[in-house]
Amino acid sequence: MNFKTTFHCLVLQIDNCSDDLLFNIATKISKHNCIVKTIDVDEYNSEKTISFINQDNKDLILYKTDDVIKLYFDNTMKNIAPVVEIYNDIVEYMNYSDVF
Torsion of CA 44, 61, 63, 87, to 10 degrees: -170
For residue 2, being part of any structural domain is answered with no
The series of mean pLDDT values per 10 residues for the chain, 100 residues long, is 61 75 87 90 90 88 86 77 76 59
**Structural domain includes residue 92:** yes
49 occurs within a structural domain: yes
Statement: the pTM of the whole predicted model exceeds 0.75: yes
CATH number for the domain harbouring residue 56: 3.30.160.110
| Complete DSSP assignment for 28-64 | HHHTTT-EEEEEEEETTTTEEEEEEE-TTS-EEEEEE
Are the C-beta atoms of residues 44 and 93 closer than 8 Å to each other?
A: no
